[in-house]
Each structure stands twice: as C-alpha cells, then as structure tokens.
Structure 1
Amino acid sequence: MGIFDLYKVPENCLDEVFENKDNNVKDPYEKITAVFDSLTIDQFENLNELIKLSFFNQGITYQVYSEKNTKEHIFPFDPFPRIIKKGEWSSIEQGAIQRSKALNLFLKDIYTEQKILKDKIIPKEMILSSPHYCKEMLGFVPKGGAYCHINGTDLIKHNDGNNYVLEDNLRSPSGVSYVLGNRDALKKTMSDIFQRYPIVPVWDYPIALLDMLKSVAPQDFEDTICVVLTPGMYNSAFYEHMFLAQQMGIELVEGRDLFVEDNYVFMKTTKGPVKVDVVYRRIDDEYLDPEVFNKESVLGVKGIMRAYIAGNVSIVNAPGTGVADDKAIYHYVPDIIKYYLGEAPILNNVHTYICENPTDLKYVLENLDKLVIKPVDQSGGYGICVGNTMSQAELADLANKIKNAPRQFIAQPIMNLSMHATYIESDKAFGPRHIDLRTYTLIGDDYEYVLKGGLSRVALKKGSLIVNSSQGGGSKDTWVIE
C-alpha cells in the first residue's frame, strides 16, 4: 500500500498538494510525492525517527508554559515539504516589505508628530490605551528610522487561492531557527530529493541578520559589537537565542552580563568591560530596564533605556513596537499603507471586527459561533477562541468577557486555511492538515531582506486551525523554487 493511499481531500477546502477529485497530484509536487510514495511505512517511520533524533541532539526544542511541569518538547517536524513557486513568492516578499516599511513609518509618526492620529485615520485613544505604547520613546527616532527591524508576518492561503495576512509580529518574532533546522534535517535524511528541485537556500539568514544589526549601530565602527540578550535557559525560545548568536558569531548574554556606565552599555568579559553597540533583545519591554519598566525585573539591564535615548546603543526591536502588533491596530494596516506609502496593499488583511466599536461589538456578540475571537495582546495561539467549536455555556462566558473589556478583543471570520499533506504518526499515514506561513523581514538603515521561504506551521490535530507549537502544531520545510 502506498503512503498516500488513504489520503482524502476534504470538501470545500483548498489542498495545496492534491486535487479534490481523484487525488491527482498538483504541479510542482509530482516528483516529491513519487519519492515518498516509493517508501514503505517502516522505511518512512525509520526516517521520521532519525529526524527526531537529529532535532533532539541539536537541542531543537520548545517549552509550553501552560503545563504544570515545565519540560522540553522536541519541535514537531513533518518531513513532507511545502513548495512555493517563485512567482507567488515574489508577491509575498513584496507585500511583506511593503507592510514592514509602512509599520515603521507608523511607529515613527505616533512617537513624533502623530499626524495619522490628528488626521483621525486611527482613533487616538486606541493608540494611547495600548499597554505597549511606550511614552519613553516620544520624540526619539532610532538609527535609520527603523523601529521594527524584524517583522514576522503570518499568512494564510484561503479557498480562493489568495494569501491573506493573519497578523503581524513586531515585538520579538520567533521561529526562524526552526526554518534553518528543518532544512538541515531534511537535507541530512533525504539529500537526494534536493537534486530534483531548484530550491532557494535559507542559510544566508544569520548573515543578513548580522548585517542588519550592524547597519543600525549608533556609529559606523570598524568593529561593531552586537549581542543577543536572552531571558535565560528557561525561556521557551532559548534554543533559538543560542542558535542565532552562534550562527552570527556574537555573544549570547543575560541581563547580569551587561551594565550601564556614563550612558554606555558594557559587557563583562574576562578581559574587562567591552562597549556594546547593538543589543538584539529577546526580552519583553516590561523586563528590559527596571529603571523604566518593571522595577522588580532581574532579567533586563538597569539604565539601558538611558543609553538608548542618548543614542549610544541600538535596541532591536525598539521598545514600544508592540503598539503596532496590537491585533486591534492590525485592522488599520491597509489604511496605514495607503496613508504613508500612497499604495494599495499587496497582501490583503482578513476582515477584522473591533469589539471596542459599538457596531462591530453588536455583530460579534450576535455571531460568536461564526467567528474567531482573539485577545489583542497575546501571542503563541493563547486565548484564541474558535466559535464553532465551543459549547453554548462557553460562548456565553466569552460574551461576558468581551462585554466587560471590549478593547481587549477583536474578531475575525473563520477562515478556511489551506491544507497540506502531513504525516500523522497515530494513523501511520498521510492526511490533510491546515497550514500557515510566517515570513521574516529585516529592515535596517537602508537595508531590506526577506528570508526565502519562511516557516510553514501545520496544525497536527485533525480539524484544528491553530498551528502554534504551544497549541500542538508542528512545522515543515518551505521550498521556494526557481
């Protein structure tokens, strides 16, 4: 029996690999499906175990904060790759850059002249009420006008075949290490299939990231010192912090390894203090500087905001960027693009209802069972409620939460994410599962880059639309082919 023999494409859903009728394979998946179909189940199981062992040995793991006992999980990886043709990718790439440019201009405006608020394109109170609006950034413009240096744009493909932006991740988008880890694991276990496709490489990302970091250094030093600031080994993304620092050849530091003197940031070393020019921080604003934010924080660096505002160090991403990835602000991104760039959005938004708006609130409360409800300030898939999977009692409880704090929620129609052939270990067969894509855009001082392929995340639970690893999701290697 072939490995795809039990595969059935669901009705009313776009499958990226197979046609809805007779399971005919779509171009460009003919070669790759033939390779996988030539394997027996036992052969494929052995291959799958080799990949897991490779991930374990490399420490490619994550943690789930909601578990009572914190433990490491091997990041779930599906060996059957996702393929995106160059023409489609070109549109995604241009749209991601356009979006990042506009959001940077938006951040610069709301922390300086606030023209977009005065012109009432966005309600002023929506910005000022955001918990991520950072008053300390008022009047300050980082090097090159770059606030959001690294943007993770989450995309879905709908039944109509078009790509839609689901959300923007501007504070500290994670997952890029899995892109490189996925590619490495697949090349080690199935190297022959890479000879059959003209696949664009992904290994230039650490080089591009370091180039971007150096581009925003306060001054053009011959030997710019960049560091990755991590909360420590118990953070869910610590593997990524360690991996990126290693790949860039720079130091991975914790807050206790840095100190501020005369408004400059220094790193403690065995040879004495070394001045730091750029801090790629993977710490939330709240914990970044106990002088300014959470006074109880032991994760950050006391005085780093003073050094930053004085122009003596650059912080990537800038404090206060979270106001632009507030899910309520997402609704206005098409208007933001038109306002600052005078262009139509290349990538469309998913229609979004702002619960703070009385008209939208009424519609949402009357149609909860047809909508996806999201908290405006959470990530990782936490707090998301899919209306048609909830009981009447759960819907009633959700309605009360929304009515009590409408600013904290947005709603979107239940989008039918495209599906992709995915190996289901419990069935020992391939089945269709919903999938999305996170792109990674770098913006520096006169510097632009988009990682070719990004991270395809897959919902391993049957019927689930939640792809986050923290909610039981996995990932695939993503091929952009010439």
Structure 2
Amino acid sequence: MLTNYQTGVFFDEMMKQDGEPKRHYQWFYQLVNQFTERDLMKKHETAQLNFLRQGITFTVYNHTGGTERTMPFDFVPIIIPRQDWEEIEKGMKQRMTALNHFLEDIYNGQEIVEAGIIPRELIENNPYYYNKQVSGIDIPLRNHIFLAGVDLIRDENGQYRVLEDNLRNPSGMSYVFQNRYVMRQVYPELFFQHSIETLEHQLSELHQAVTSHLPANADPHKSATAVLLTPGIYNSAYYDHVFLAQQMGIELVEGRDLIVKDDVVYMKTIKGLKRVDIIYRRIDDDFLDPEAFRPDSALGVSGLLRAYRKGNVSILNGIGNGVADDKAMYVYVPDMIRFYLGEEPIIPNVETYFLSDPERLDYVLDHIHELVVKNVGASGGYDMLIGPQSEESEQEEFKKKIIENPHQYIAQPTIKLSRAPAYQEGRFYPCHVDLRVFVMNGEKTNVLPGGLSRVALKEGSLVVNSSQGGGGKDTWILTESGDHHA
C-alpha cells in the first residue's frame, strides 16, 4: 500500500524513515493492506457521498459568488497515543486558564500592563478591544472563553506547538462528530478490535458548559433557557450552527427571533414571549447589538448589551475576546502563563517575530523568501505569504506592505509541518496536517478527545483551511484498556 511512500525531511505521523509504520499505527497498516485497490476506491467514494447526503457543506465565497462544497474527507486517521494526548490536554487547560485570566484582567485591573509585560498600546489599539462595552461586568463564572478552538501543529522533531488560539467563534466541531460517524459507517472493521476514546458524551458536556453560565438575575426556580444565535443560512459555518443546536437540544434563532424588553431578552414563540437566559452566539461582536456596536447591523438584537451589563443574560463566548486571540497577542501567551500561573508553558508557541522591532524588520526583509508572513488581523489563510512557495514578485509586493505598515504583520519560520498519508484518487501520498483541539469551559474544563485534523490535500500545499482546498480526517485517541469501543 505504501511502497513508494516518501517521508522526506518531515515528521510523519504514521510512517518511520525506514518505510515501516510506527508502533501505534501497525494494526491500522496491516488492516488496510488487506483491502484491494477496488475496495479502497469504493470506500472513498462512499465516504464522500455520505457527507453530501447529510448536507455537510461549507460555503466558499469568491469573485463569482458563493459555492457550497462538502469538506473533502480522508480516511487515514490521525492516531494519538494516550500519553501524548494527556500532555496536550494539560497544555490546553493551562493555556485557556491563562488566557481567561488575561481577559478578566484587561477588562478590569490591567495588572499585566502595570507590570510592564504587555505594552498598553497593543491592547488599546486592538480593534477587538471593547473596553467601554465590557469593562467592569461581573460575568458568570468569570469565564470569557466557553469554547476555544486551538490549532496545533508538529514541527520536524514531532514537538507539538500552538499555531493559534481561536477564542471568538471557533467553528468545525460538528465535523469532528461527522468524521467519526462516516468513518464508522464506511470502515466499521477499524473499530472492532480497537479501543478508541469515544465522542458519545461530548455534546452533553458542551450543553452542560453552556447552561452552567447562569446570569446573575436568572430565575432560580426555572431551568435556564439557552439559544444558539446564528447570522443565518448564508454564513459559511451554518451547518455547524444547526448541528450543535440540534444535538444540544437548544433553539436555533436569528436576531429577528429575539427582542429586549425592560433589559430582559425574550424569544418570540407561537405561545408568546419566552425569557432567554443564555445566548451561545455565532455572530461577531460588531453585529451583536446595533445600539452598542454597528448601527447598520441587521443580524443582532437591539438592547442586548444593556441586558448583558445588567446581569439578565449571558453571552458566550464573551464580548471582546478577540483582543486575546489576535496574532500579535499570541506572541505574549507564554508570558501570560508565567505571569498568571507561575508556570512554564507545557506546549510552546511557534517562534514569532514582531515587525515593529527595527532589527527584526531588517532580518525579515532580507529573509522573506524563507519565512511565513501574516497579517495580524486576517484569518482563514488570507493576506499571508509563504516565502519558500512564493514568486519574487509576490515577495516584493509583501515587502512594500510590511514597510508601509510594519505593525500589521508578524513573521514566523516556515515550520516543516508534520505530514500523514492521505488516500485520494486511488493512491497514497503524504500531506501536511494540523489539529484543531476544542476546549469547553464551564464549571470545569473539558477537552474534546481528538479534535479536527485538517489536511492540505493539494500535493505539496501547506494550507489546511477548508476554504483553501483542505480536508478533514478522523482523530483517534487510544484508550489505555482494550475494553471500550468508539
């Protein structure tokens, strides 16, 4: 099956340099070797059809309008041994605790700024810093981050590193469940002998995390009413919204379904108005409330912020979280961990250069062909330059942009992202992968076992984003004992 497979200079999740599978992949390797080429082609097609049938799509917008695509799926799973996973879990909990402290701090006392660890202007000039809207609010559980999606990569030594923190509206959790569902439909034989950490209770964990954020003035005699607020069907992550609301058993609403009266939020129902206590919103801060943010927003709810400030409703994730997950603040997360927790980071960052530092700037301009340069405000793989894969003309254009506005960019070494085999069009070839880990915070912190492994399916490509041609893989955490099944 993998006779001509080349690991090259990259760390490979599955294969050793000598062309043999790693220990935790041996059984998978042996099993797949029993399939004929025809079996594999057939299974591959069945898997893609399964996604299409379930309407698992995302929308890609380009100059010709929007097109619905299914997330391409690859059946070779990413398998993570138990002890590696435990390390990741610890690292994620540590990181989220520090980031939450940071958000609580900068909207209240600003101790980290007073201590001279983070420059004040980095916070105050951040477009996602909503001081006048958020400061001084006593939010439930003091928890700003109910759901985070942290992107991890592995470098050429197999060391996990955090690539970015998504603390606003991380999407993709539904794909984790769908990847597993399709995998079990199409490759049931993989699940017979092997103990893979189950995802079964994770959606009720998510629901518990949501409902634990009771606002200060909720009616103690009634159980909390939570809703998921979506911008609507044209949003690229709409499938994600529908899936999560359905699975948690909460109403999916749009702004027009809610109304604020006397600083209390109500949902319009056929039986009249029903009070809403908790809003898991998938709308950006700017559009939440035309009174407090953009007056032209048709997606939000007028008066929502007043209700929030008065303790009559909870909004998850917190407003103003973007100040903590921006690419410039990312550089300081290890310092936050040291400052708030007095610990060293368990999972390191990728080395990052600030271009506002003149020495770094000169270095980056001279070495731009070797580096990755990113706009600190952009996401989804936009406005970024991958030096080794770029033309000289693109490099020159980027240099101009950087010199005009050095504060807007950061640079990182091109990491030799780890790879794993992918099976597409009848053959196996190595593709770069990363892992989005989902962390849920309520009364306790819970890390979803596995997460979304994203794969750059274009041969040689480093971009794993689905909007840029990437796909998904199932992620398996091996359990210690052999008695549970996924």
TM superposition score category, shorter chain reference: over 0.9
2:482 aligned residue: none
Seen in structure 2, the aligned counterparts of structure 1 residues 54 and 265 have a Cα distance that, compared at 3 Å, is: same
Please say if 1:414 is aligned against 2:414. Answer: yes
Matched, 1:88 2:84: yes
C-alpha separation in 1, matches of 2:434 and 2:139: 32
Structure 1 CA distance for aligned equivalents of residues 62 and 134 of structure 2? 33
1:266-285 alignment, distance < 5 Å: 266-285=266-285
5 Å-filtered alignment, 1:373-388, equals 373-388=373-388
Contact 2:260 2:266 (C-alpha < 8 Å) held by counterparts: yes
SS at match of 2:294: coil
CA distance in 2, matches of 1:234, 1:99: 33
Change (3 A) 1:57 1:67: farther
Counterpart of 1:182?
179
Tell me the amino acid that sits aligned with residue 433 of structure 2: I
**Structure 1 residues 245-256: aligned runs within 5 Å:** 245-256=245-256
Q: Which residue of 1 aligns with 2:439?
A: 441
> How far did 1:304 drift?
0.7
Q: How many residues are treated as equivalent by the alignment?
A: 475
CA shift for structure 1 position 159: 1.3
- Correspondence list, 1:50-199, <5 A: 50-135=46-131, 136-199=133-196
- Structure 1 runs (4+) deviating above 3 angstroms are 219-222
Shift of residue 370 of structure 1?
Answer: 1.2
Q: Is the 8 A contact 1:215 1:447 kept in 2?
A: no
Which residue identity lines up with residue 183 of structure 1 in the other structure? R
Q: CA deviation at 1:285?
A: 0.9
Instruction: Measure the CA separation in 2 of the matches of 1:440 and 1:410.
Output: 25
Q: Secondary structure at the match of 1:108?
A: helix
Deviation at 1:69, TM superposition (A): 2.5
Counterpart mapping for 1:246-325 below 5 A: 246-325=246-325
Contact kept, 8 Å, 1:31 with 1:196, in 2: the verdict is: no
Q: Which whole-Å CA distance do the structure 2 matches of 1:389 and 1:339 have between them?
A: 38
- Mapped to 1, the partners of 2:63 and 2:70 lie a distance apart of 15
Q: What letter corresponds to residue 81 of structure 1 in structure 2?
A: P
**How far did 1:67 drift?**
4.8
Would the aligned equivalents of 2:61 and 2:67 in 1 still touch at CA under 8 Å?
A: no
**Post-superposition offset of 1:36:** 1.6
Q: Using the TM superposition, give the Cα deviation of residue 380 of structure 1 relative to its aligned residue in structure 2, in angstroms.
A: 1.7
Q: Structure 2 unaligned runs (5+)?
A: 480-486
Name the SS for the 2:117 alignment partner: coil
Tell whether the 8 Å contact from 2:368 to 2:395 is kept in structure 1 after alignment: yes
User: Alpha carbons of 1:203 and 1:377: their partners in 2 closer, same or farther (altered >3 Å)?
Assistant: farther
Q: Which moves more between the two structures, 202-211 or 465-474? A: 202-211
> Matched residues in 2 for 1:355 and 1:18: separation?
38
Asked whether the 8 Å contact 1:376–1:409 carries over to 2, the reply is yes
Aligned-residue sequence identity (percent) comes to 46
Q: Is the 8 A contact 1:6 1:429 kept in 2?
A: no
Which whole-Å CA distance do the structure 1 matches of 2:126 and 2:16 have between them? 45
How much has 1:357 moved relative to structure 2? 2.4
TM-score, with length taken from structure 1:
0.97
Give, as a single letter, the amino acid of the residue that structure 2 aligns with 1:461: K
- Deviation readout 1:304-361 (Å, 9 max, x if unpaired): 1111111110001011000000100000000000000111101001111112222322
Q: Aligned-pair RMSD on alpha carbons?
A: 1.1
1:221 shift after superposition: 5.4
